[in-house]
Amino acid sequence: MRTVLLLPAVLAVACLIAPAPLAARDIYVNNLTGSPEYDGGAPTPSETSGPVHSLEHALRIARKGDRIIMADTGVPYYESISLQTAEHCGRPGAPFVIDGGGAILDGSRPVPPEFWRHYAGKIYYLPLRRRGPYQMLFLAGKPLPRVQFSEDEPTKLPPLHWGYYNGNIYLRLEDGKLPEDYELSVAWHPVGITLYHVNNVVISNLTVQGFQLDGINVHDKVDQCILGGLVCRGNGRSGITVAGSSNAIIEGCLLGDNGAAQLWVEGYSTVEVLESELLSNTAPPVVQRGGRLNITPPKSQQGEAPNGSAPMQPGDDAPGDNDDNAAEAGANPFN
Protein backbone atom coordinates (compact mmCIF):
# COMPACT_ATOMS: atom_id res chain seq x y z
CA MET A 1 0.00 0.00 0.00
CA ARG A 2 2.87 2.34 0.82
CA THR A 3 4.33 1.69 -2.64
CA VAL A 4 1.06 2.60 -4.32
CA LEU A 5 0.84 5.85 -2.38
CA LEU A 6 4.41 6.81 -3.25
CA LEU A 7 4.07 6.05 -6.96
CA PRO A 8 2.39 9.35 -7.94
CA ALA A 9 5.10 11.28 -6.10
CA VAL A 10 7.87 9.27 -7.75
CA LEU A 11 6.38 9.87 -11.19
CA ALA A 12 6.10 13.60 -10.50
CA VAL A 13 9.75 13.81 -9.50
CA ALA A 14 10.76 11.80 -12.57
CA CYS A 15 8.93 14.26 -14.80
CA LEU A 16 10.73 17.16 -13.14
CA ILE A 17 14.19 15.67 -13.62
CA ALA A 18 13.58 14.17 -17.10
CA PRO A 19 15.85 15.77 -19.69
CA ALA A 20 14.30 18.42 -21.92
CA PRO A 21 14.33 17.85 -25.68
CA LEU A 22 17.63 18.84 -27.24
CA ALA A 23 17.57 22.28 -28.83
CA ALA A 24 17.18 22.30 -32.60
CA ARG A 25 20.34 23.03 -34.55
CA ASP A 26 21.30 24.48 -37.91
CA ILE A 27 23.32 21.97 -39.97
CA TYR A 28 25.21 23.51 -42.88
CA VAL A 29 25.93 21.64 -46.13
CA ASN A 30 28.37 22.69 -48.84
CA ASN A 31 29.31 20.29 -51.62
CA LEU A 32 32.52 22.20 -52.42
CA THR A 33 34.02 23.29 -49.10
CA GLY A 34 32.28 20.76 -46.84
CA SER A 35 33.96 17.71 -45.37
CA PRO A 36 32.89 14.49 -43.63
CA GLU A 37 35.26 15.57 -40.85
CA TYR A 38 33.21 18.67 -40.03
CA ASP A 39 30.23 18.80 -37.68
CA GLY A 40 27.97 20.96 -39.86
CA GLY A 41 27.90 23.66 -37.20
CA ALA A 42 29.13 26.54 -39.37
CA PRO A 43 28.63 27.63 -42.99
CA THR A 44 32.36 28.14 -43.58
CA PRO A 45 35.27 25.94 -42.48
CA SER A 46 37.34 26.82 -39.44
CA GLU A 47 39.66 24.98 -37.08
CA THR A 48 36.77 23.85 -34.91
CA SER A 49 33.74 23.60 -37.21
CA GLY A 50 32.47 23.71 -40.77
CA PRO A 51 29.85 22.42 -43.22
CA VAL A 52 29.33 18.77 -44.04
CA HIS A 53 29.73 17.78 -47.68
CA SER A 54 26.40 16.11 -48.48
CA LEU A 55 22.72 16.00 -47.61
CA GLU A 56 23.09 12.32 -46.76
CA HIS A 57 25.69 13.19 -44.10
CA ALA A 58 23.50 15.99 -42.73
CA LEU A 59 20.54 13.62 -42.35
CA ARG A 60 22.74 11.06 -40.63
CA ILE A 61 23.64 13.49 -37.84
CA ALA A 62 20.31 15.35 -37.71
CA ARG A 63 17.97 15.33 -34.74
CA LYS A 64 14.29 16.06 -34.42
CA GLY A 65 13.46 19.64 -35.33
CA ASP A 66 16.85 20.49 -36.86
CA ARG A 67 17.28 22.75 -39.87
CA ILE A 68 19.52 21.66 -42.76
CA ILE A 69 20.83 24.63 -44.74
CA MET A 70 22.31 23.97 -48.17
CA ALA A 71 24.78 26.28 -49.90
CA ASP A 72 24.11 27.13 -53.53
CA THR A 73 27.63 26.61 -54.85
CA GLY A 74 26.69 26.60 -58.53
CA VAL A 75 27.45 22.86 -58.64
CA PRO A 76 24.47 20.47 -58.31
CA TYR A 77 24.24 18.05 -55.42
CA TYR A 78 24.34 14.65 -57.14
CA GLU A 79 22.61 12.46 -54.56
CA SER A 80 19.30 10.92 -53.51
CA ILE A 81 17.97 11.11 -49.94
CA SER A 82 15.21 9.68 -47.72
CA LEU A 83 13.51 11.12 -44.65
CA GLN A 84 12.11 8.16 -42.75
CA THR A 85 13.04 8.18 -39.07
CA ALA A 86 11.85 10.00 -35.96
CA GLU A 87 15.02 12.09 -36.17
CA HIS A 88 13.72 13.52 -39.45
CA CYS A 89 10.50 14.83 -37.91
CA GLY A 90 9.68 18.15 -36.36
CA ARG A 91 7.23 19.39 -33.75
CA PRO A 92 4.20 21.66 -34.08
CA GLY A 93 5.64 25.13 -34.56
CA ALA A 94 9.19 23.75 -34.89
CA PRO A 95 9.40 21.73 -38.12
CA PHE A 96 12.30 19.72 -39.47
CA VAL A 97 13.57 21.87 -42.35
CA ILE A 98 15.64 21.37 -45.48
CA ASP A 99 16.38 24.83 -46.89
CA GLY A 100 17.92 24.44 -50.34
CA GLY A 101 19.10 28.04 -50.57
CA GLY A 102 18.51 27.95 -54.33
CA ALA A 103 20.70 24.87 -54.88
CA ILE A 104 20.04 22.03 -57.33
CA LEU A 105 19.57 18.36 -56.41
CA ASP A 106 20.30 16.35 -59.55
CA GLY A 107 19.74 12.64 -60.22
CA SER A 108 21.27 12.44 -63.68
CA ARG A 109 24.56 10.86 -64.76
CA PRO A 110 26.70 11.54 -67.86
CA VAL A 111 26.72 8.87 -70.56
CA PRO A 112 30.23 8.02 -71.77
CA PRO A 113 30.23 8.19 -75.61
CA GLU A 114 31.50 4.62 -75.90
CA PHE A 115 28.32 3.33 -74.23
CA TRP A 116 26.25 4.28 -77.27
CA ARG A 117 25.82 1.59 -79.93
CA HIS A 118 25.01 2.13 -83.59
CA TYR A 119 21.54 1.03 -84.69
CA ALA A 120 20.97 2.33 -88.23
CA GLY A 121 21.82 5.49 -90.13
CA LYS A 122 22.08 8.33 -87.62
CA ILE A 123 20.27 6.32 -84.92
CA TYR A 124 22.21 5.19 -81.85
CA TYR A 125 20.89 3.27 -78.86
CA LEU A 126 21.86 3.05 -75.22
CA PRO A 127 21.13 -0.20 -73.31
CA LEU A 128 19.98 0.62 -69.78
CA ARG A 129 20.69 -1.45 -66.72
CA ARG A 130 17.72 0.08 -64.90
CA ARG A 131 14.68 -0.58 -67.05
CA GLY A 132 11.18 0.78 -66.80
CA PRO A 133 8.73 3.05 -68.61
CA TYR A 134 10.07 6.24 -67.03
CA GLN A 135 13.34 7.74 -68.18
CA MET A 136 14.80 11.04 -69.32
CA LEU A 137 17.60 11.99 -71.71
CA PHE A 138 19.36 15.32 -71.37
CA LEU A 139 21.56 17.40 -73.65
CA ALA A 140 23.76 19.86 -71.74
CA GLY A 141 21.45 19.46 -68.73
CA LYS A 142 18.20 20.12 -70.59
CA PRO A 143 15.67 17.40 -71.51
CA LEU A 144 15.50 16.38 -75.15
CA PRO A 145 12.07 15.87 -76.79
CA ARG A 146 10.75 12.32 -76.53
CA VAL A 147 8.85 10.40 -79.20
CA GLN A 148 6.86 7.25 -78.45
CA PHE A 149 7.29 4.36 -80.89
CA SER A 150 7.11 0.60 -81.26
CA GLU A 151 9.96 -1.78 -82.04
CA ASP A 152 10.09 -1.19 -85.80
CA GLU A 153 9.98 2.62 -85.70
CA PRO A 154 13.25 4.04 -84.24
CA THR A 155 14.31 5.22 -87.68
CA LYS A 156 11.37 7.66 -87.72
CA LEU A 157 12.93 9.78 -84.99
CA PRO A 158 13.59 13.42 -85.94
CA PRO A 159 17.10 14.76 -85.21
CA LEU A 160 17.88 15.16 -81.50
CA HIS A 161 14.69 13.36 -80.49
CA TRP A 162 14.73 10.16 -78.49
CA GLY A 163 12.50 7.24 -77.62
CA TYR A 164 12.51 4.33 -75.23
CA TYR A 165 11.70 0.74 -76.10
CA ASN A 166 12.43 -2.58 -74.38
CA GLY A 167 15.14 -1.24 -72.09
CA ASN A 168 16.96 0.84 -74.71
CA ILE A 169 17.08 4.58 -75.36
CA TYR A 170 17.19 5.40 -79.09
CA LEU A 171 18.52 8.79 -80.21
CA ARG A 172 18.80 10.29 -83.68
CA LEU A 173 21.88 12.46 -84.11
CA GLU A 174 22.32 15.41 -86.43
CA ASP A 175 24.10 14.93 -89.75
CA GLY A 176 27.86 14.84 -89.38
CA LYS A 177 27.70 14.26 -85.63
CA LEU A 178 28.72 11.38 -83.35
CA PRO A 179 27.76 10.67 -79.69
CA GLU A 180 31.04 12.17 -78.47
CA ASP A 181 29.98 15.52 -79.96
CA TYR A 182 27.20 15.87 -77.38
CA GLU A 183 27.05 16.33 -73.62
CA LEU A 184 24.44 13.61 -72.96
CA SER A 185 23.16 12.36 -69.62
CA VAL A 186 20.32 10.15 -68.35
CA ALA A 187 18.17 10.04 -65.24
CA TRP A 188 19.95 7.71 -62.85
CA HIS A 189 18.74 7.82 -59.25
CA PRO A 190 15.07 6.72 -58.90
CA VAL A 191 13.81 9.53 -56.60
CA GLY A 192 15.32 12.78 -55.39
CA ILE A 193 13.70 13.05 -51.96
CA THR A 194 11.56 10.29 -50.45
CA LEU A 195 9.47 10.96 -47.34
CA TYR A 196 8.03 8.06 -45.36
CA HIS A 197 6.38 8.04 -41.94
CA VAL A 198 7.57 11.53 -40.94
CA ASN A 199 5.71 14.61 -39.76
CA ASN A 200 6.12 18.38 -39.46
CA VAL A 201 8.59 18.67 -42.33
CA VAL A 202 9.34 21.68 -44.55
CA ILE A 203 11.40 21.45 -47.76
CA SER A 204 11.99 24.75 -49.54
CA ASN A 205 14.07 26.78 -52.01
CA LEU A 206 15.41 23.82 -53.98
CA THR A 207 15.44 22.64 -57.59
CA VAL A 208 14.99 18.87 -57.97
CA GLN A 209 15.72 17.44 -61.40
CA GLY A 210 16.92 14.48 -63.42
CA PHE A 211 15.48 11.57 -61.44
CA GLN A 212 14.15 8.44 -63.10
CA LEU A 213 10.81 8.33 -61.27
CA ASP A 214 9.92 11.37 -59.15
CA GLY A 215 11.66 14.51 -58.03
CA ILE A 216 9.93 14.29 -54.64
CA ASN A 217 7.88 11.30 -53.48
CA VAL A 218 5.73 11.82 -50.38
CA HIS A 219 5.33 8.09 -50.10
CA ASP A 220 3.09 7.19 -47.15
CA LYS A 221 2.15 8.13 -43.58
CA VAL A 222 3.52 11.66 -43.95
CA ASP A 223 1.74 14.34 -41.95
CA GLN A 224 2.09 18.13 -41.89
CA CYS A 225 4.46 18.35 -44.85
CA ILE A 226 5.05 21.66 -46.65
CA LEU A 227 6.86 21.81 -49.99
CA GLY A 228 7.52 25.47 -50.71
CA GLY A 229 9.35 27.42 -53.38
CA LEU A 230 10.53 24.32 -55.25
CA VAL A 231 11.29 23.80 -58.93
CA CYS A 232 10.74 20.14 -59.88
CA ARG A 233 11.67 19.54 -63.51
CA GLY A 234 12.91 16.95 -65.93
CA ASN A 235 12.00 13.85 -63.91
CA GLY A 236 10.89 10.60 -65.56
CA ARG A 237 7.41 10.32 -64.06
CA SER A 238 6.52 13.38 -61.97
CA GLY A 239 7.90 16.45 -60.33
CA ILE A 240 6.06 15.63 -57.10
CA THR A 241 4.10 12.51 -56.13
CA VAL A 242 1.90 12.34 -53.01
CA ALA A 243 0.65 8.87 -52.16
CA GLY A 244 -0.52 6.51 -49.42
CA SER A 245 -2.17 8.24 -46.47
CA SER A 246 0.08 11.29 -46.67
CA ASN A 247 -0.99 14.91 -46.56
CA ALA A 248 1.03 17.71 -48.07
CA ILE A 249 0.85 21.40 -48.93
CA ILE A 250 2.57 22.47 -52.16
CA GLU A 251 3.06 26.24 -52.15
CA GLY A 252 4.79 28.58 -54.57
CA CYS A 253 6.29 25.76 -56.65
CA LEU A 254 7.02 25.37 -60.37
CA LEU A 255 6.55 21.91 -61.90
CA GLY A 256 7.34 21.29 -65.56
CA ASP A 257 9.21 19.17 -68.12
CA ASN A 258 8.37 15.96 -66.28
CA GLY A 259 7.60 12.75 -68.16
CA ALA A 260 4.11 11.54 -67.17
CA ALA A 261 2.68 14.26 -64.90
CA GLN A 262 3.85 17.41 -63.19
CA LEU A 263 1.94 16.39 -60.03
CA TRP A 264 0.91 12.76 -59.36
CA VAL A 265 -1.69 12.10 -56.63
CA GLU A 266 -2.85 8.64 -55.55
CA GLY A 267 -3.97 6.47 -52.62
CA TYR A 268 -5.74 8.16 -49.70
CA SER A 269 -3.55 11.23 -49.71
CA THR A 270 -4.67 14.84 -49.22
CA VAL A 271 -2.93 17.53 -51.24
CA GLU A 272 -3.35 21.31 -51.13
CA VAL A 273 -1.70 23.24 -53.98
CA LEU A 274 -1.34 26.98 -53.42
CA GLU A 275 0.04 29.64 -55.78
CA SER A 276 1.96 27.08 -57.84
CA GLU A 277 2.49 26.65 -61.58
CA LEU A 278 1.86 23.19 -63.01
CA LEU A 279 2.87 23.33 -66.66
CA SER A 280 1.35 21.25 -69.46
CA ASN A 281 4.39 21.44 -71.73
CA THR A 282 5.44 17.76 -71.62
CA ALA A 283 2.72 15.99 -69.63
CA PRO A 284 -0.62 16.72 -67.93
CA PRO A 285 -0.38 19.17 -65.04
CA VAL A 286 -2.02 16.59 -62.75
CA VAL A 287 -2.61 12.85 -62.80
CA GLN A 288 -4.98 11.90 -59.97
CA ARG A 289 -5.59 8.25 -59.16
CA GLY A 290 -7.25 8.58 -55.79
CA GLY A 291 -6.76 10.92 -52.89
CA ARG A 292 -8.15 14.41 -52.37
CA LEU A 293 -6.73 17.37 -54.25
CA ASN A 294 -7.49 21.06 -53.95
CA ILE A 295 -5.73 23.55 -56.23
CA THR A 296 -5.72 27.30 -55.69
CA PRO A 297 -3.89 28.58 -58.78
CA PRO A 298 -1.93 31.82 -58.95
CA LYS A 299 -4.19 34.86 -59.20
CA SER A 300 -3.42 35.19 -62.91
CA GLN A 301 -4.84 31.69 -63.50
CA GLN A 302 -7.79 31.71 -61.13
CA GLY A 303 -10.93 30.36 -62.78
CA GLU A 304 -8.88 27.89 -64.85
CA ALA A 305 -7.44 24.44 -64.29
CA PRO A 306 -3.63 24.52 -64.17
CA ASN A 307 -2.45 25.96 -67.51
CA GLY A 308 -5.95 25.48 -68.87
CA SER A 309 -5.87 21.68 -68.64
CA ALA A 310 -8.18 19.57 -66.53
CA PRO A 311 -6.54 17.11 -64.13
CA MET A 312 -6.45 13.52 -65.33
CA GLN A 313 -8.71 11.27 -63.31
CA PRO A 314 -8.45 7.66 -62.15
CA GLY A 315 -8.55 5.37 -65.17
CA ASP A 316 -7.05 7.91 -67.58
CA ASP A 317 -3.74 6.96 -69.14
CA ALA A 318 -0.73 9.09 -68.31
CA PRO A 319 2.11 9.47 -70.82
CA GLY A 320 4.32 6.41 -70.48
CA ASP A 321 1.44 4.11 -69.50
CA ASN A 322 0.37 3.36 -73.06
CA ASP A 323 3.10 5.25 -74.93
CA ASP A 324 0.90 8.22 -75.80
CA ASN A 325 2.66 11.07 -77.55
CA ALA A 326 3.90 13.80 -75.26
CA ALA A 327 2.82 17.38 -75.86
CA GLU A 328 5.13 19.76 -77.63
CA ALA A 329 7.34 21.72 -75.22
CA GLY A 330 6.06 25.17 -74.34
CA ALA A 331 7.21 27.27 -71.41
CA ASN A 332 10.34 25.60 -70.13
CA PRO A 333 11.57 25.81 -66.51
CA PHE A 334 15.05 24.89 -67.76
CA ASN A 335 15.32 28.19 -69.64
Give the pLDDT confidence score for residue 148 in this predicted structure.
81
DSSP annotation of 325 reads: P
Give the pLDDT confidence score for residue 297 in this predicted structure.
82
Give the global pTM. Answer: 0.84
Give the pLDDT confidence score for residue 85 in this predicted structure.
94
Identify how many contiguous H helices and E strands the chain contains and give both numbers: 2, 23
Give the pLDDT confidence score for residue 154 in this predicted structure.
86
Give the pLDDT confidence score for residue 325 in this predicted structure.
37
267 residue type, one letter: G
Q: Residue 174 phi/psi, 5° resolution?
A: -75, 160
List, in sequence order, every residue forming a beta bridge with 206; answer none if it has no partner. 103
What residues in the chain have per-residue pLDDT under 50? 1-8, 10-16, 18, 307-310, 313-315, 322-330
Containing 15, the helix (H) or strand (E) segment is helix 2-17
279/304 Cα distance (integer angstroms):
13
Give the pLDDT confidence score for residue 165 in this predicted structure.
87
36/58 Cα distance (integer angstroms):
10
